[in-house]
Amino acid sequence: MPEGHTIHRLAREHKRLFGGRIVAADSPQGRFAEGAALITGSRLTATDAHGKHLFHRYSRGPRATLGDPWLHVHLGLYGEFRTGRPPAPAPVGAVRLRLIGERAWTELRGPTACEIVTAADKAAIHARLGPDPLRADADPERAWKRISASRTEIGRLLMDQEVLAGVGNVYRAEVLFRHGVDPHRPGRDLGHETWLAMWPDLVALMTEGVRTGRIDTVHDLHTPEAMNRPPRVDDHGGEVYVYRRSAMPCLVCETPVSTEVVAGRNLFWCSACQS
């Protein structure tokens, strides 16, 4: 599930369902028992997301204070929240954290990080993350400074959360395809014009992802191959050009889609469309 859009969607959903209310928390699996005990009986007074990091602020008193603890969650590769309306079912499987409010419950399993941090810890996390296309405070030029100074291939740079926060393996492949960029091109050769087109494209794609909960990058494609093919929806739920389509015909030119591990993940691209 988790690229940046998933996390921002969760921040929004958790605020809507639990915000301003007192919650009960526990850790059926046991690995977050202390944190859950700290949260229980307090009020969710803020949610925040930066890249793939999710935060909840919990306050005890009538108003929030600087000393309030923050819950920090990183879903990693397969962490997941499952959410529903009361009554909460008996937990099944390894539920790290369960939150129960008046209007909703949610269960967290499989996260890479689920911890209580201070406001200073949270600030340190923000400080090491690059600009997030989904945050209003994002400065795309900060990312451009890193990209344009680097000999590293753009397919790696886009996955580096210190360069750009929130892009993962699907958005990486898709945004490079949409801008005709070979993933192996060094950052310094990307071109400012290209970056100035890629950034707003990421903003638009990821904003749509927050709204829909999926990644769709193919919107209006009218090639014969595209018109004739049955609608193809990847397991992740969205419609894409190249992600996980290795050896299948490119939707634009029908060249078989290439694949290679870059930055430890399977990268997909069209060697004809992307140069």
Partner DNA sequence: ATCCGATGTCAAT
Partner DNA sequence: TTGACCTCGGATC
Stretch that binds DNA, among 2-10, 17-25, 98-106, 218-226 (CB under 7 A): 2-10
Sign of CA dihedral 213, 214, 215, 218: negative
What span, in angstroms and rounded, lies between the C-alpha atoms of 237 and 5?
13
C-beta of 168: minimal distance to DNA in Å? Answer: 2
Cβ burial, residue 259 (10 Å; 0-12/13-18/19+): middle
Binding mask 81-120 for DNA (x = CB under 7 A): -----------xxxxx------------xx-x--------
Task: Return the structure tokens found at 14.
Answer: 């958790």
Contact with DNA (CB under 7 A) among 2, 35, 101, 140: 2
* Contact call for residue 205 and DNA (CB under 7 A): no
* Contact call for residue 29 and DNA (CB under 7 A): yes
C-beta of 137: minimal distance to DNA in Å? Answer: 19
* Contact call for residue 122 and DNA (CB under 7 A): no
* Contact call for residue 135 and DNA (CB under 7 A): no
Largest Cα–Cα distance in the chain? Answer: 62
Residue type for position 14: H
Q: Which residues, 6 or more positions from 75, have their beta carbon under 8 angstroms from its beta carbon?
A: 1, 2, 6, 7, 52, 54, 81, 110, 111, 112
Binding site for DNA (CB under 7 A): 1-3, 6, 29, 31, 51-52, 74-79, 92-96, 109-110, 112, 159, 161, 168-170, 215, 235-237, 244, 264-266
Residues noted as catalytic: 2-3, 52, 265
